[in-house]
Amino acid sequence: MPRAYNFCAGPAALPEAVLNQAREEMLDYQGTGMSVMEMSHRDQVVVEMAARAERDLRDLLGISDDYAVLFLQGGASAQFAMVPMNLLGDADTADYVNTGQWSSKAIKEAGRFCRVNVAASSEDRNFSYVPPQSDWRLSDNAAYVHYCPNETIGGLEYDFIPEVSRPLVADMSSTILSRPLDVNRFSLIYAGAQKNIGPAGLTLVIVRRDLLGRAGPGVPAMMNYQVHADNDSMYNTPPTFAWYLAGLVFQWLKAQGGMPAMETLNRRKAGKLYDFIDASPFYSNPVAPANRSWMNVPFVLADTALDKTFLAEADAAGLRNLKGHRSVGGMRASIYNAVPEAAVDALVDFMADFEKRKG
């Protein structure tokens, strides 16, 4: 059976070349006679694999030695708690900007540890725009400022990096590695792997070293960035197979031309889909044009009674996982790095044909 075009928001498509390499190495990794998932994380072969993955990631994003790079577990949702646990220090307030469901969840979790000042929100218009920074009301005593540059569920993306006087924290789960990034403008970046990094089960944290060591004595060791940094992300048994696959993805990205090449490709893929939607009276996108995500493209049909038919026919055509998130409905095409341009072309062709037959 031919491989389907997978538009899932996560766990998402992986590069076919990466999957093929993993298949070839499944039973015998580098002549060891074992799969990498069977090997001890203390084995030198695995230690070298992990170190290469970190080096390649640093190369891709230009991450300096001023930052620790951590490969953790728990998903981005665990970071909703770990960020305040590690960055509050003696402060009792943190600033958050609310632009969708993931930033809303981060706000709720942070509220367990401190007073959360919601500096701005776009909930008034159903999270369809990003509040301009001129409207933000930041605290004078906040330990950090947190935002989500790309909201996976709503397909909302910032068109700017905030300029703030406090440490800037970003949940980049669904946008990291999609284009060049000036890491130096951030104090902490975290991202669940299952979009552009690798399979679910791994979480990436890039944290400025001078922010380590702020966790209080009551913070468990497994939730303490300093502990993980001191142990090269191997304080406990890490998700070695997910780490290995992420490393293969990093190698694949470098072979494609790195972040500049990904930016060109992703901009073109998103442009094709949005241009078609905008030109059609049958489909629409609810997000302000300046804040449309390159990675997650939600759209609705003019006649919602056709939603089930659309999804069934798309699935039969090999266009999988186009159903929108249960909280918002409609459709959503997630077009991460590993989703080829041919997939977007096939989707546009299908949407045009469906409109011709049903519109």
For the segment 269-293, the average pLDDT, to the nearest whole number, is: 97
Can you give the pLDDT at residue 190? 98
Can you give the pLDDT at residue 102? 96
Tell me how far CA of residue 278 lies from CA of 59, 288, 315, 339, in angstroms.
37, 12, 23, 22
pLDDT single digits (tens) 38-58: 998 988 999 999 999 999 999
16-256 CATH: 3.40.640.10
Can you give the pLDDT at residue 335? 98
Could you give the strand order of the β-sheet that contains 145-147, starting from the edge strand earlier in sequence? 67-72, 203-208, 188-192, 168-171, 145-147, 93-98, 115-121
Residue position matching structure tokens 């059609």:
280
pLDDT single digits (tens) 128-173: 999 999 999 999 999 999 999 999 999 999 999 999 999 999 999 9
| Burial label, 235 (beta-carbon count in 10 A; 0-12, 13-18, 19+) | middle
Taking the chain, what is the end-to-end CA distance rounded to the nearest angstrom?
Answer: 31
pTM beyond 0.75: yes
Task: Map out the domains of the chain as residue ranges.
Answer: 16-256, 257-358
Percent of the chain with pLDDT over 90: 96
pLDDT single digits (tens) 78-122: 999 999 999 999 999 999 999 999 999 999 999 999 999 999 999
Average pLDDT, the chain: 96
Can you give the pLDDT at residue 123? 96
- Rounded Cα gap, residues 122 and 19, in angstroms: 39
From 195, 152, 131, select the one nearest 339 (Cα to Cα): 195
Can you give the pLDDT at residue 9? 96
Into which CATH architecture does domain 257-358 fall? Answer: Alpha-Beta Complex (3.90)
Can you give the pLDDT at residue 24? 97
Can you give the pLDDT at residue 47? 95
- Rounded Cα gap, residues 344 and 342, in angstroms: 5
From 294, 287, 300, select the one nearest 273 (Cα to Cα): 294
Instruction: Evaluate if residue 16 carries a pLDDT over 90.
Output: yes
pLDDT band for position 329 (50/70/90)? confident
| Burial label, 17 (beta-carbon count in 10 A; 0-12, 13-18, 19+) | middle
Tell me how far CA of residue 279 lies from CA of 6, 268, 275, in angstroms.
24, 16, 6
pLDDT band for position 2 (50/70/90)? confident
Note the Cα 175 to chain centre separation in Å. 5
pLDDT single digits (tens) 184-235: 999 999 999 999 999 999 999 999 999 999 999 999 999 999 999 999 999 9
Q: 3-state DSSP call for residue 318?
A: coil
pLDDT band for position 327 (50/70/90)? confident
Instruction: Evaluate if residue 294 carries a pLDDT over 90.
Output: yes
Q: 3-state DSSP call for residue 152?
A: coil
Active site residues: 102, 171, 195
From 11, 166, 182, select the one nearest 95 (Cα to Cα): 166
Q: 3-state DSSP call for residue 42?
A: coil
Instruction: Evaluate if residue 326 carries a pLDDT over 90.
Output: no
H or E element at residue 195: none
